[in-house]
Each structure stands twice: as C-alpha cells, then as structure tokens.
A and B are shown apart, each in its own frame.
Chain A
Amino acid sequence: MPRVWKFGDAINTDDILPGKYAPFMVGEDKFHTYAFAHLRPDFASNYQPGDILVCGKNTGLGSSREYAPEALRKLGLQAIIAKSYARIFYRNLVNLGIMPFEAPEVVEVLQDGDEVELDFERGLLRRGAETFQLRPPPAFLLEALKEGSILEYYRKYGRFPGEGLEG
C-alpha cells in the first residue's frame, strides 16, 4: 500500500533536487536518484511509485527548475498534499501531471509512514477506516489534467484551456 512521506514547511527546490544534480550535470538517466539528497538521503532509494508526498506551507519555493518535480515524477509520484504551494512549483506540478492538492487540515493529521490510498478522480484519501475529502485544483487546470497535462491539451486543441472563451 502507498505510504506517506511527510516533510515540513518551506521545502524548496534545492531540497527537492540540489542544483548540482540537474539532469544536464549528471545525465537524464540519473538525476532523479538524487531527489532529497541533502534533506532525506534515504528517500530516492526507498520511495515506491504511488507513495504520497505530504508537505507544509510554501512548498516548492525557489528555483523554476522543472526537473525538481520531474525527478519526483520519474520516481513515480502522482500527487502531493500540501498546506500551500509556491507559484512556479504549482504550475510545474500541473504541467507534469502531478496532482497538487491543497489541504492544510489533512496535512496536520497525516504522519510520516502512514499507509494511505488516494482516489485521484474524487479526491478521496483513505487511511485505515478514516476518509478525508481533498479539494480538487481549479477547473481550468483540471481541464488540462484530464488530457494528461497542459502539453497534451495544447497539442490536441492548439489553444490553452479556456482561451477564446472569455467574454
């Protein structure tokens, strides 16, 4: 069963993937193995696809490096639950097809190592007998995520979600 990896507030992109391990420094095939290399060296080797990241406030502040969340996606990350997100990181998550849930009250309750199940479509998180309802991202972004990512959306429709529809 997927487990929770819990982190604190202000996890920055240098924590998630230190700059010296960028793909163009160490190779496209290796960079993800350095995820959280400084902060939590046991992370990359023990993370199982589907495991959930749970973070505090201002998650992902710092650099615009998309390869930080890309390293997590490469390891199999599909969703993050956080109290709040930094702007560029949030866009990068959506663009990579990683679901960014914002749920401060759920973050408080979850513990590192908890075994959980997440129903992405409905935003339902289960821990044993408990169920938590997560608020989905804005409709604009969900529309893009339905196609897999905003990249897929643009390739298919040749426009951004909602573009040309505004008054």
Chain B
Amino acid sequence: MKLLSMVEQTLRIAIPYLFAAAGGTLAERSGIVSLALEGYMLAGAFSAVLGGFMTGSAWGAIAGGAFGGLVFAALHALATLRFKANQIVIGVALNLLAIGATRLFLKLVFHSSSNSARVSGFGESASASVATFANPLFFVGLLTTPALAWMMKRTAFGLRVRAAGEHPRAAETLGVDVGRIRLVAVLVSGVLAGLGGAYLAIEQHQFTDEMTAGRGFIALAAVITGSWRPVRAGVACLLFAAAETLQIQLQTLAVLPSQVLSMIPYVVTLIVLTGFVGRSEEPAALGKGA
C-alpha cells in the first residue's frame, strides 16, 4: 500500500515534467533552444487559474493553461524565428517576463502578492487519490510521451521536425518550410508546457508566486539527459519525480534537514548529466538559427 501510494505520488509529480519535457523535446529537435519552458509553465499556471476563475470550471482552467503557454511560445517564435534573436537570451527574458507578468497580474486581478483565489479542480468531493485520477490532464500527461515518440518516428511532420533540427538547409532543398515547422514545434511546446503549468495550478487549486519553482529547467535537463529522444526524456522525468518523492518521504521521517533533501533532484540532475548514462548528441542545428 505504501509502495502504491509512492508510485502514485511519483506519477503525480512527474506529470508537469512529462508535459514540459515533451514540449522541450519537440522544440529542440526542430532546432530551437527551449530555455523558456519554465516561463511557459508559469504563464500556463497563472492563466489556468484565470481561466478557471472566470469560467468557474476546471475545464476552463485547462484551456487557460494551454492559452498562456501558447502566448509565451508565440513571443518566443516571433523573436527567434522572425527577428533571429539569440535564443538563449530570449529564453532568459521570457522566464523573467513570466515571473514579473504573473506577479503584476496577480496584483491586478487577485489583489495579492502571494497567491490567487481558490479555483475548483476535478473530483472535489472524492478522496485524494480518486481526485488524482479524476483530472484528465493526468492521463493526457502520461500519454504525451508515447504520442510524441510515435509522431517523431512515424509521421511526415516528425520527420520534417528532425530534418529541421539536423540539417535545415538540406530540408529546405527538399521543399520543407523549416521556418513553419519550427513555428509549429515551438507553439505546440508552449501549449504542452502550459498544460503542465495548468496541472500544477489545478492540483493546488490556486496560483502562488513562482509556483513552478524551476520545474521547467528540470524538464529541460530531462530532455538533455534523454538525448533529445521522447521516451528517454520521459524516463528521465520519472526518475526526477521519483527522487522528489523520495525527498518528500524522507522529509516526513526527518532524517535529514529539509534544505539538504530539497537539493536531491538538482544533484541527481548534475550527476546524470555527467554522462554516465552515455554521451548525448544534440540536434546539429540546435540554437543556430535558420
């Protein structure tokens, strides 16, 4: 029973990572650096609460989350694809913008500098673990990884994304519109990461300042750890989530101070990235512009 609840907790923690990492894998495979995943998620979390607040429904929250991520991804695409801006600088700027803008609108809409009003979630009256499974995003999140893997491998669009990320000029010669492929990839990654943020907000029934707390960066680390392959990135997400679950369980036992435990996911990331799981090869045209 204990083990089962730990598995459930791991999956619950993994959902936002899985969403964001799927988005990150897609965008990076198309050649665009996904440093803004954190910003997409935070914007998604806030606009999810806004959507839920305005419609009074958790479905409104899901739509809001997707929209928030989409808006930020559109800014990303505009700057990097249209204006050829430096992708890393834009990523940093969007992350800062997400923090500032969500704080500003938190103040404007909810008159608070720490958290929003409560929004409703799924399966309110049910017990905690039933509520987990009542949230459709839980299953969508789990399905994102295999869906992305299938799409990258089996569809024409997936092939074009890979071509855009590996050899954009060759792809252009074959008649692939690299700019458009990248645009779609970035926008979809925004929607996915936004849904990840929405999942967080719906689970916690509110938005809190900087509530994503670096999850977008962990997701990006999972993408890199997974060598830019959907399934491996998904496994890395589960690994990070398991490390976090372990941390939370250890915290209730109070064997180590909470601050030391909170470092575990980050230390795990650094160790995994040292390459003992095998050196990874990044998409050849990643961050190079068109």
- A joins B in a complex: no
- Residue positions of B touching A, CB distance < 8 A: none
